A and B are shown apart, each in its own frame.
Chain A
Amino acid sequence: MNGAGNPRPESGLELYAWIFMRVSGVVLLVMVLLHLAIMHLINNVEVISYHFVVVRYATPFWRTYDLVMLWLAMIHGLNGLRVVIDDYVISRGWRVTALGVVFISGVIFLALGSLVILTFHPVPGT
């Protein structure tokens, strides 16, 4: 035991998931830490408002950035949760139920998040 990640799976979907976690992890490190620096240090919840989002989302750059980050973070997080559930939920019925809840909620929240980023249109006069 050295606290490292799960052993590399032999082949198939599990191998792709294993690789995805590592590749998306590196991308997310850069994207999320930059996001945190901009939204929590340079700016802050003190100054973040509707108007702030209007200005930020006026050009496609931050929308694209946020959309990529949303998808990578959600798939990375949901797959991590799947691994944790596989490890700890022993009864087959509960495991299938939990994985189902994770999958369905993941689809709903990814759809909601994407919809918000892609369709946001400022209220006139703001």
Chain B
Amino acid sequence: MNSPASIHDKHPARRGRGRLRRVNVGLAEYARYRGRAGQWAWILHRLTGLGVLLFVYLHIIDTSLIGWGPHAYNEAMALYRMTGFRIGEIILVGAVLYHALNGMRIIVMDFWPRTTVIQKQLLYGVWISFVVLYVPTIYFMVHWMVTGKP
């Protein structure tokens, strides 16, 4: 990929990590509209990645409770059954799904640079597969939540 992945690649003061004094370009600069849809795909990729990593940390803590026996672990599961956590669970699955599908798009474009000419179609592909997979997923998860059964 020849195109810069993030804005500071273009910013001379931010080239050569550590060698030049970094200039604070400010949050407004980062949020600036730059690359049409691809920019949003990239921002969402980072946000979903960070969110999922945060949950992995939490997930290690909750799973480690099995070491303290049935009571501790079942208490944690009871917490996860609360409505707020169930909504979080649905958002988590959506974040993983988006990150996975958009990641595949990144891989395709990185390893087959000629696909850059169909980058718009690839992005549509990500969103179409996301909706196709996520809508039934939401249905089944809400069904579990409401009825307590599959």
Which residues of A are in contact with B by a Cβ distance under 8 Å?
1-8, 22, 25-26, 28-29, 32-33, 36, 40-42, 44-46, 48-51, 53, 70, 73-74, 77-78, 80-81, 84, 86-88, 90-92, 105, 109, 112-113, 115-116, 119-120, 123, 126
Contact = CB atoms under 8 A, between A and B. Distances in A.
Given A80-B49, A113-B63, A45 B5 contact: no
Contacts of B53: 77-78, 80-81
Contacts of A120: 66-67
A39 B23 CA distance: 46
Contacts, number: 159
B74 A29 contact: no
Interface string B9-46: 10000000110001110000010001111111110011
B56 A2 contact: no
The 5 closest A-B pairs by CB, nearest first: A3-B38, A1-B35, A77-B53, A50-B70, A3-B41
A4 B52 contact: no
Contact of A5 (B1, B18, B149): B1
B56 A1 contact: no
A46 B42 contact: no
Contact of A4 (B1, B56, B77): B1
A85 B119 CA distance: 27
25 contacts: A1-B3, A1-B38, A2-B38, A3-B45, A7-B2, A7-B3, A7-B5, A8-B1, A22-B111, A25-B103, A32-B100, A33-B96, A33-B100, A40-B89, A41-B140, A41-B150, A45-B86, A48-B77, A80-B49, A84-B46, A87-B6, A90-B24, A105-B57, A116-B67, A119-B67
Contacts of A74: 56
Given A46-B144, A77-B56, A80-B46, 18 more contacts: A1-B34, A2-B38, A3-B40, A4-B3, A6-B5, A6-B6, A8-B110, A25-B103, A41-B137, A44-B144, A45-B81, A77-B53, A80-B50, A80-B53, A88-B30, A90-B22, A113-B60, A113-B64
A73 B55 CA distance: 11
B4 A45 contact: no
A29 B8 contact: no
Interface of B: 1-6, 8-9, 17-18, 22-24, 30, 34-42, 45-46, 49-50, 52-53, 56-57, 60-61, 63-64, 66-67, 69-70, 73-74, 77, 80-81, 85-86, 89, 93, 96-97, 100, 103-107, 109-111, 116, 119, 123, 137, 140-141, 144, 148-150
